[in-house]
């Protein structure tokens, strides 16, 4: 049977760490805790489960901290967990079986990360597969009878193990501050981080967060190295931020750029919100209907669901059509 190293990075997790470790500790052969500067009881709680506790001076990079944690592992596989995760009994048993039966050629095991929508995370789905278990030392091998080459792609297994994500608080402020710091330091956001920054702003960022981000996303619109998808999401943030700050010419400039690139529910909702605030309910209805039924979301699923439906109900109420207002209220409730 293979062995598992649990590797975690933590900071001020006294409220949730015992819950997390209690759900997986007995399945692990070693537990490695890397603390990045706790000033609560996090390390005392960790000490109840392991003596392998390391201090790590925060560099501003989660990857640096995780790489340090992984460097301390000595088992066959590394299980990477966050303190706000839980493994229930059914999935504990599944992990126990996996430990006994995992094939030696498997390099990475993905597990279902669940409970995403309940806590306002930046993900537009309640469940996704994430890599959670990693072979510590990969064996490279040659393939093909002629023109041989080394196999570089890892062998990934998609398991049905479900991890419950139960954060105690939102990480939005921390994450947006990190994005702003990276940009201020002159670093370029990858396509993935560009998308995640835009999602963070549309899912849980404040109006002020969005307004501060306008200059960055306006620059992205003009960045010839950005893809059409990145430009569309940049237009979303630039349009919303300018509407919130009252720069209406700039709002329409970026909204129309997005519409010219096929549009999306977020922009239709923003235009509908503009006309709704201006008291032009008939025009607002047109755009809100498009957000709810005719376009796709690219950043926040609620911009194509409950948000425009709720706004449509208000518009019809203002127009004196209580029957349609009630219809859209019910639809919004069904969307959650």
Enumerate domains of the chain plus CATH numbers. 4-165 (3.90.550.10), 172-335 (1.25.40.10)
- Is the C-alpha dihedral spanning 173, 174, 179, 183 positive or negative? positive
Mean pLDDT of 315-330: 96
Note the pTM of the prediction, 2 decimals: 0.81
Which one has a higher pLDDT value, 212 or 120?
212
Predicted confidence band at 123 (pLDDT cuts at 50, 70, 90)? low
Residue 135, pLDDT score: 97
- Which pLDDT band holds residue 79 (cuts at 50, 70, 90)? very high
In the chain, DSSP assigns E strands to: 4-10, 30-35, 53-55, 77-80, 85-86, 108-114, 127-135, 142-143, 149-150, 156-165
233: confidence class by pLDDT, cuts 50, 70, 90: very high
Tokens read off for 238 = 């630039």
pLDDT tens, 307-317? 999 999 999 99
Among residues 66, 64, 90, the alpha carbon closest in space to that of 79 is found at 66
User: What DSSP character marks residue 119?
Assistant: G
Task: Classify residue 107 by its DSSP letter.
Answer: -
Q: Give residue 217's pLDDT band: very low, low, confident or very high (50, 70, 90).
A: very high
């Amino acid at each position: 049977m293979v062995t598992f190293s649990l590797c975690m990075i933590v900071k001020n997790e006294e409220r949730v760490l015992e819950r997390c470790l209690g759900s997986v500790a007995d399945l692990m052969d070693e537990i490695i805790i890397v603390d990045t500067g706790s000033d609560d009881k996090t390390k005392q709680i960790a000490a109840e489960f392991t003596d392998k506790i390391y201090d790590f001076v925060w560099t501003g990079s989660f990857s640096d901290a995780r790489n340090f944690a992984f460097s301390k592992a000595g088992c066959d596989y590394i299980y990477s967990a966050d303190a706000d995760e839980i493994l229930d009994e059914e999935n504990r048993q599944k992990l126990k079986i996996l430990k006994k039966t995992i094939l030696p050629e498997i390099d990475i095991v993905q597990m279902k990360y669940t409970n995403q929508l309940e806590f306002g995370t930046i993900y537009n789905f309640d469940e996704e597969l994430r890599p959670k278990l990693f072979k510590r030392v990969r064996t490279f091998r040659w393939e093909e009878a002629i023109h041989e080459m080394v196999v570089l792609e890892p062998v990934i297994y998609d398991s049905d193990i479900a991890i419950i994500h139960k954060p105690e608080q939102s990480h939005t402020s921390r994450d947006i501050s990190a994005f702003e710091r990276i940009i201020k330091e002159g670093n370029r956001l990858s396509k993935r981080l560009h998308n995640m920054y835009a999602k963070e702003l549309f899912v849980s960022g404040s109006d002020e967060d969005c307004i501060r981000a306008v200059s960055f996303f306006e620059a992205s619109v003009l960045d010839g190295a950005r893809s059409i998808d990145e430009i569309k999401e940049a237009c979303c943030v630039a349009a919303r931020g300018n509407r919130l700050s009252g720069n209406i010419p700039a709002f329409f400039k970026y909204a129309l750029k997005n519409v010219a690139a096929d549009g999306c529910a977020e922009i239709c909702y923003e235009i509908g919100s503009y006309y709704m605030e201006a008291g032009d309910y008939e025009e607002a209805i047109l755009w809100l209907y498009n957000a709810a039924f005719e376009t796709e979301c690219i950043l926040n699923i609620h911009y194509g669901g409950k948000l425009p439906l709720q706004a449509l109900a208000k518009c019809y109420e203002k127009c004196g059509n209580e029957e349609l207002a009630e219809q859209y209220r019910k639809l919004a409730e069904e969307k959650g």
